[in-house]
Amino acid sequence: MPPSLSRVASAAVALLVLSAAAVPNNNPQSLRAGLQNARTLAVSHFSRIASDTGSADQIVARLDSDLTAVALVDPKDTVAFDQLSFRVALDESLVSQLVDGSAAPVSQTPGTSALRLARSSVDGTLQPLAVYLPASYDAEKSAPLILMLHGQGQTETELLSEPSLRKLADDSGAILAVPWMRGDRTFDAVTGKDAYDALTLLESNYKVDGRRTYLAGISLGAFDVFMLAPLHPDRWTAVLSIGGTLTNDDKDSFVKAMRGKPAFLVIGSDDPLVKVEYVRGAAAYLTANGVDCHYYEQRGGVHSLESLQVSLQRAWTDMLAGVRFSSPEVDVPSPVPTGSQRY
């Protein structure tokens, strides 16, 4: 286990993300025009958005990032283009709701995504929350929920637009939601409250199975799960860490709060940012201290979601199935990266 990684804020870089949300826009010019309009609205209402969210500058910055991505994406690369279109649709929805001053209606339509606004119980600001309802979602039946924390330099809409995560949600029938968590702000009492405010909103608006509510995180978010879960351990069935680990700073509080509950750790054997030895040590520590720890090591995997897909699917499936005390997965070959992922 690493000696106080302090969340490896300087090391844990965001993972590449792909597609998810509404109907994609397949016209680059139209996509650019919609984004430019959203940016113009955000700038002209900057003061009010700043007052309402506390992050108007970051919202404009994400629109600028979207515009840059539109200029660079190859429209013939349908996967990448659809990814970007879905992300843009959610970012435009965010601006529209903030400018109009009214939340979008809660949709119960299966297989769709939405950008929700959660009211902070700390300062009353509106905090973005991206939500995906699986294809099998039925508003009359309880569904599992996975609240996932994004990586450094990544927005909630980027992560939710990852098609492999959306497929996992579809395959397992799980609602997938990603809170903004004030961007790259260091985990503290405020961001912790934001996550639980998001959870409360989800439980109020969707048919969530309280017996199957999971906390997950990727990269920097994978470190945060070990600090967030102990705040209200009764609200989580299990935790999933992807490309992160337990640290000396949070090991005691996590073990005390989560003893007897499952923890699923996924890491690439060749991760250049989070040493695999640290995660192996964390898994051993958790197991020795009464946490039902499941360890999945992707042979050849690095610090990218794409390279961890095989092991992540196993961990995700085991977690949703309620598997207990499984044998470690340590020799699963990694898919060959396409070279398109961001580290």
User: What is the per-residue pLDDT for 197?
Assistant: 98
Q: Is residue 205 part of a domain?
A: yes
User: How many domains is the chain built from?
Assistant: 1
Cα diameter, the chain: 57
On whether residue 71 sits in a domain, the answer given is: no
Does 37 fall in a domain?
no
What pLDDT, on a 0 to 100 scale, did the predictor assign at position 325? 64
User: Could you tell me the pLDDT band of residue 326, with boundaries at 50, 70 and 90?
Assistant: low
Q: What is the mean pLDDT of residues 80-103?
A: 95
Containing structural domain, residue 140: 6-22+107-333
Tens digits of residue pLDDT in 35-52: 999 999 999 999 999 999
Quick check: is 38 in a domain? no
Residue 44 lies in a domain: no
The per-residue pLDDT for range 208-251, each reduced to its tens digit, is: 999 999 999 999 999 999 999 999 999 999 999 999 999 999 99
Once rounded to an integer, what is the mean pLDDT over residues 74-84? 94
Residue 27: what pLDDT?
84
Q: Pick from 215, 250, 242: which is nearest to 229 by CA?
A: 215
Which of the four pLDDT bands, split at 50, 70 and 90, describes residue 328?
Answer: low
DSSP 129-153: EEEE--TT--TTS-EEEEEEE--TT
Residue 28, domain member (yes or no)? no
pTM over 0.85: yes
Report the share of the chain in percent with pLDDT over 70: 87
CA distances from 310 to 263, 298, 303, 315, 323 (A): 18, 7, 14, 9, 17
CB 229 within 8 Å of CB 199: no
Structure tokens of 159?
Answer: 């992560």
Phi, psi of 217 (to 5 degrees): -155, 150
Residue 250 lies in a domain: yes
CATH for 244: 3.40.50.1820
pLDDT more than 90, % of the chain: 84
**Tens digits of residue pLDDT in 277-300:** 999 999 999 999 999 999 999 999
Under a CB-based contact definition with an 8 Å cutoff, are residues 116 and 147 in contact? no
Per the domain annotation, does 185 fall within a domain? yes
